[in-house]
Amino acid sequence: MIEKKGILAKIFPFWEKISEDDRSELLQGTFEKKFKKGDPVKSSNSACLGAMYCISGRLRAYISSDDGKEVTLYYVNSGDICILTANCVIPPISFEIEIEAEEDTILLQIAPTAFGKVQSHNVEVENFALRIIAERFSDVIWSLEQFHSFSIPQRIAMYLYDEMNRTKSMILSVTHEQIAKALASAREVISRQLKDFEEDGIVELGRGKIEIMDKDALKKLI
């Protein structure tokens, strides 16, 4: 059983500054949610989810174009907070995102009614939310810059290098389809480029995994 109070006190710097009633409001409005890898967490037309804290696992936030192409905006990793899902209580949020579980994931979800009520009369809560939003939008801008400014080989190299550092492993449990989704490209394009990387001795391809063989050569591609 997740100890909600301890987690909320840890992740919210304003916890001791708000009233006991407000702390109780947040606790009563916080629920544990579990998602399997590949499960949808939020669609573009789903109800407002409120704020989310990732206890374990990983989420991918993206937007979909009219032709079905997905553009990854940012990831929510273990220990991260996501407030862009609270579009019904945070006025600056005016676009819809979709979110899926990249890995088996456990979340704490804070209901929008609870978060909105506490945020409405606590400037510390509002300031915290706006800071988290600003950080997320920085991630979004970086993702869009990558999409427009870097070649496919560079973007694949960046993806693999980031995953290697994130997982602290030279063996990545990732499929070509996952990379294609992350980079808003076609799976065939990704597979072809990864095959080139393999022929150059940079990676070794396996079923559902990619092993980094030469991380220095990979970094030079970025």
> What residues does each domain of the chain span?
4-142, 150-220
- pLDDT given at position 137: 86
CA distance 209 to 199: 16
Radius of gyration of the chain (CA): 19
For strands 98-101 and 40-42, give the pairing.
antiparallel
Residue 5 CB neighbours (<10 A): 14
Ranges of H-type helices in 109-221: 112-120, 123-149, 152-167, 176-183, 187-199, 215-220
CA distance 115 to 181: 32
Structure tokens at 197: 């990387």
Residues in the chain predicted with pLDDT less than 50, given as ranges, are: none
- pLDDT given at position 47: 72
Measure the CA dihedral 155/189/137/115, to 10°.
-130
Q: 0.85 exceeded by the pTM? A: no
- pLDDT given at position 65: 75
- pLDDT given at position 184: 87
CATH domain 150-220 topology: Arc Repressor Mutant, subunit A (1.10.10)
CA distance 80 to 98: 17
- pLDDT given at position 50: 83
4-142 has which CATH code? Answer: 2.60.120.10
CA-wise closest residue to 4 among 24, 33, 27: 27
CA distance 30 to 111: 6
| DSSP designation for 102 | S
